[in-house]
Structure 1
Amino acid sequence: MTIDSRAALPPGPTYDYGGHSVWIVPEPDSTTRWRVMEDEGYLGTITTADPVKGEPEVHFAVHFAGEEDIPPTKIVPLWTTAVEFLIDAGEPHEPPEA
């Protein structure tokens, strides 16, 4: 079985999608959380998540800006899908304090 490179860790560091260019920045002191940033601001975080439905690959949980401490909005197998979801549905905010 070949694992898709879009599922590999770490994500990023940049990603272009739908006319947007974002950068993916590791959260301070974390190897499992990344902030998704664009010129207009902070979109949210993607974090590693437990595999779902017995799938062996790492999955990525999506947290919108301001919703980092609640259950994720979506869990997907590819970090690119997580970032695309934030770009499509997220609103830029001021980044949280480091």
Structure 2
Amino acid sequence: MTSTNQDQVIRQFTARWLVSFLTVAEMQSLTAAANHLRVHRSNVSRDIDALERWLGRVLFRDNVTFELTEDGKRFRETAQTMTSMLIHSRSGLPIS
């Protein structure tokens, strides 16, 4: 993948997708996740759909139990690492 293509792929991504994914995976409920995140259920659903399209993978087996697929289980570890890295990246920066 060329640098230009990588930039385009990264620009499409939002960290909110990770938060929605991890919350749904933990709570196994779209409604509970939306309540926890204090957003509308449709926002969380759109985040999950966008993330799955971006990854080209199905992360949940169905829209009832929200059980993770094998890809979803593997990606959960990556998503946890990514969110942790984002949170900790701020700690090394000076406050302005």
Q: Which TM-score band applies after superposition, normalised by the shorter structure?
A: under 0.3
Q: Which has the higher helix share?
A: 2
Compare CA radii of gyration and give the structure with the larger one: 2
TM-score by length of structure 2 reads 0.27
